Amino acid sequence: MTTTLTELQEKSKLWRSDIIFTQEVLGKPFTFHTTWGIFSPEKLDEGSLMLLDYIDFKANDNSIDLGCGYGVLGMTASRECPNGQHILIDKDFVTVEYARLNCQKNGLTNTEVFLSNGFNQVDKNKKFSLVMSNLPAKASKEQHYLYLLDAYERMEVGGRFYVVTINGLRDFMKRSFTEVFGNADKLKQGKTYTITVAIKE
């Protein structure tokens, strides 16, 4: 059945409105504002939720959410690590706007959200004990290496870098983590996603 232009124009009014949903993360609810055109706008993606189940959050962690989308990893770190400061970065200005809004709407005051292509705009003097990323499968291997190398330079000794990737990247992540950090530990492999961590020694 063909939709008329008038019907599409009416539907577009709804499509332009924020999508708002509440979802539990580690047993506590967050409310999210999103929009069409950003990743997983109607519910949290399975990869990020799987990753959060395996991160060892510590109260004093200072974290960075690399490629934050609309913010779930950094927001969770903010809540689970109340004594730390938490940076959320993305190279998409729309997702940055929504991540900032979501931090505000959920009362997270120990966060900073800004536009950055990888670590390009991150203060070189800041050090992190926790780095988290739902690494995009479409990014090039060269870009992934840049993320790892930059993270290594910004991490404290003993800092942990957790990533979730599609299973097709798991061998690459193990190899590249080992090349940069000297270690890699596969924490979980599911049907679609793999969780890997490296520690700066």
* Confidence (pLDDT) at 197: 98
* Average pLDDT of the segment spanning 145-152: 95
Residue 54 pLDDT exceeds 80: yes
The per-residue pLDDT for range 69-120, each reduced to its tens digit, is 999 999 999 999 999 999 999 999 999 999 999 999 999 999 999 999 999 9
User: Confidence band (pLDDT; 50, 70, 90) for 137?
Assistant: confident
Q: How far apart are CA 34 and CA 69, in angstroms?
A: 10
User: Confidence band (pLDDT; 50, 70, 90) for 1?
Assistant: confident
Q: How far apart are CA 20 and CA 132, in angstroms?
A: 24
SS3 state at 45: coil
* Confidence (pLDDT) at 122: 96
User: Confidence band (pLDDT; 50, 70, 90) for 182?
Assistant: very high
Could you tell me if 92 and 104 are in contact, meaning their C-beta atoms sit under 8 angstroms apart?
no
Closest CA to 73 of 170, 184, 164: 164
State the average pLDDT for the chain: 96
Domains of the chain with bracketed CATH: 45-199 (3.40.50.150)
Over its C-alpha atoms, the chain yields an Rg (Å, rounded) of: 18
Q: How far apart are CA 43 and CA 84, in angstroms?
A: 27
Could you tell me if 188 and 194 are in contact, meaning their C-beta atoms sit under 8 angstroms apart?
yes
Up-side HSE of residue 31: CA atoms within 13 Å toward CB? Answer: 8
Positive or negative, the CA dihedral 147, 88, 117, 134 is positive
* Confidence (pLDDT) at 78: 98
This prediction's pTM: 0.94
* Average pLDDT of the segment spanning 31-60: 97
